Amino acid sequence: MRARLALPLALIVSSAVIECGQLASDADGSDGPVLDASMDVHCVQGAFGALTPVAELNTTADERGLRLSPDELFGVFSRVTASDASLPPLSLYAASRADAQSAFAQSKIMYLASDGWQYPAVYPTLTSNGSMLTYESLCQGQTVPHASTLCAARRDASTNGFFGIDPLIGTVSDTDTIPGGFGAGFALGDGFVNGDASAYYFVSRLAPDGGLAATDGGSSPQAIFVTHAAAGIFNSYALVARDDASWMDNPVLSADELTMYVSTRASYSASPHVAVMTRSDAQAPFGPPVQLHELDSTDGEYPTWVSPDQCRLYLTRVVDGHGDLFVASRAP
């Protein structure tokens, strides 16, 4: 699942985060949203309830990957724009709302590209303080796109808070080799960037197989890798999650990076479904996936973002053959 965005929506991120439906104060006095040391994170166990569509953002086109600011008032996502020849086939959109109980305002396209740029842009992620948007696409200055290329756009005061232009900040290219994983050319991207943009979690094959996973004719399952930034550039890689009985995709990390939601394809279903993995140390590999069967549907779904308190999980689900945006909640 795979065009510079002049963002007409002001990106205002609250100095508070939602604590299981209530606001937690920003005790450190910083400008950006943070998790207070005293914040009691309750929603890490128990089943999620039924999925609720984010109906105001869903159309008969294909919406994918809604991701939000920590206060859940501003979001970015991808939409297929095949009906409009003037736009790339997958473009990034933005939406905002006054409070977490309100519907999002009409989404607006964000232009991240120069005129005539027609490459799809997917898997957008916002930094916690709202200063930077990352996404996978063909970045400024590139001539050959890679599925796992990570681009960035930063807010620029000279453009009234719109996202400006930045070159790529990381790529897994045709010549890279991932330790413990694929040889050259088998990264898929489908990634997630953490809140301070210091880590990029992405999908790759575990071994070269001609670019095909077992579910579509190859022999090598997918796994989750991470690359950490050095001087703002991502250029070293490590395996963090694998399960030889399933094919992983679409990693979504909690704020502390100790919980990861993924989609898996396993023997019980040809469609992707949501699983959760945990670890006790942010430098350690994740434990085995636990399927969240309460979220399963016939056509499949995958996670896209989890609230800082882990009380709400946002997902993309296939409905009538196209992707729609949903949210599932659980109580403390």
Neighbours of 42 (CB within 10 A): 15
Listed range (21-30, 43-52, 188-197) with the worst mean pLDDT: 21-30
Residue 69: the pLDDT is 93
To the nearest whole percent, how much of the chain has pLDDT over 70? 62
pLDDT digits (tens, 9 = 90+) for 128-164: 988 788 888 766 555 554 445 777 777 655 444 445 5
CATH architecture of 17-24+49-329: 5 Propeller (2.115)
- How do the domains of the chain map onto residue ranges? 17-24+49-329
Give the pLDDT confidence score for residue 323 in this predicted structure: 92
Q: Report pLDDT digits (tens) over 173-218.
A: 433 444 444 343 456 778 899 999 889 898 887 765 444 444 444 4
| Overall average pLDDT of the 240-258 stretch | 91
Q: Is residue 314 over pLDDT 50?
A: yes
pTM across the whole model: 0.79
Q: So what's the pLDDT on residue 90?
A: 79
**Which is higher by pLDDT, 241 or 39?**
241
Q: Distance from first CA to last CA of the chain, Å, rounded?
A: 33
